Amino acid sequence: MQTISPAFKSVIQPNLTAKNARYSQINGKRVSVRCGYRSESFSFPNGVGSSRADWQSSCAILASKVVSAENSSSITGGLADQVAVVNGHSNGSVDLSLVPSKSQHNGKPGLIQPLTITDLSPAPSHGSTLRVAYQGVPGAYSEAAAGKAYPNSEAIPCDQFDVAFQAVELWIADRAVLPVENSLGGSIHRNYDLLLRHRLHIVGEVQIPVHHCLLALPGVRTDCITRVISHPQALAQTEGSLNKLTPKAAIEAFHDTAAAAEYIAANNLHDTAAVASARAAELYGLQILADGIQDDAGNVTRFLMLARDPIIPRTDRPFKTSIVFAAQEHKGTSVLFKVLSAFAFRNISLTKIESRPHQNCPVRVVGDENVGTSKHFEYTFYVDFEASMAEARAQNALAEVQEYTSFLRVLGSYPMDMTPWSTLPSEDV
């Protein structure tokens, strides 16, 4: 019997211990599960090969031991047997047991909870509904972006951006839709760093207008609000409106807009309001005190669609290409001028330039016997340009860029989002 490869073994380290109940869909029924992981080694009947087919098969038969959120008793009948078979493979080395969930929210079945870094579930069967990971909880703007990018897909909420990347890499999800920049708040640096750290490919983009609402429990008046909570960017984008609507309320940052609405509903807070979407109000039983409270109507967030495999670039529609590179050693940022010239000479328009600290060498020290030493910061550069990698001019431009860089990576060549902007709520677009 062959043992698991080192690359795959790093995925299932002994420190994986799930603490939170999660929800899973089994034969159309919602069940609450708690995942527990042991540190024993796993091996597969056919071993783990280097081909994509072997990797997919091995990932598919990896499953976690699932125990009840209420007790450790297993349910009888075919439910456990169905869960123990993933993509047609019998999971003999791992025992699975599930119990129905009793969790409710306002008398309704509980919403799907975000995946955490400790969650690992079997991959979906081939031919099943496309599964799309996003960061946040149901009602978040990222969920609306996932629905626009992949209609009729199954949205998988994740509690962190990194978890969404890993969900696709581990075949838990088929795609991920994550924000990279906002027209008012600027770039989301965390996701730029994760694009370089992970090996996913950009296969598309989608732009979502941000339509903020002020939400509170039913019956609560605006003059009764003493506190407003939301994501820091949402609070900044509605500062003017909040000063008029709730001038005496304290403003507090929360990690997510929809999670702020969920927090108010779960704790029955009659003195607190949240800045979130209209869908969040619907999901968590809140009323909309004020609609469209964003200070700027041109508030749009750009999301990237990520997949394990790239798409084939084409020339029959507008395409955009995203790259990341670092300057050659000791060349510094002077290389940037030469890189930009490579695109300018070929009439290729750039739509984005972003610099981030070089992870492996953030500072370069230059010594001089006469004047001492100087310290220079080193950067990696992210560039988006309007051209397809199927075009000769794009290929020639990157060939020239490669001469000036220590590394160059194409993150993706993908269709541009050409849908017109609208100030309507994102769920109505």
Query: Which residue among 238, 246, 257, 301 is the active-site one?
Result: 301
Three-class SS state of 80: helix
- Contact between 306 and 165 (Cβ < 8 Å): yes
> Nearest 5°: CA angle at 146, between 10 and 325?
55
8 is an active site residue: no
Query: Which residue among 161, 165, 303, 325 is the active-site one?
Result: 303
* The residue to which tokens 């394990």 are assigned: 308
Q: How many CA atoms lie within 13 A of 84 on its CB side?
A: 16
- Contact between 274 and 260 (Cβ < 8 Å): yes
407 is an active site residue: no
Nearest Cα neighbor of 262 from 215, 212, 327 is 215
Rounded to the nearest 10 degrees, the angle between the axes of helix 189-197 and helix 161-169 is 30
Strands (E), 184-281: 186-187, 201-209, 213-216, 227-230, 250-253, 272-276
- Measured CA to CA, the distance from residue 37 to residue 118 in angstroms comes to 9
Any idea which residues carry the catalytic annotation?
301, 303
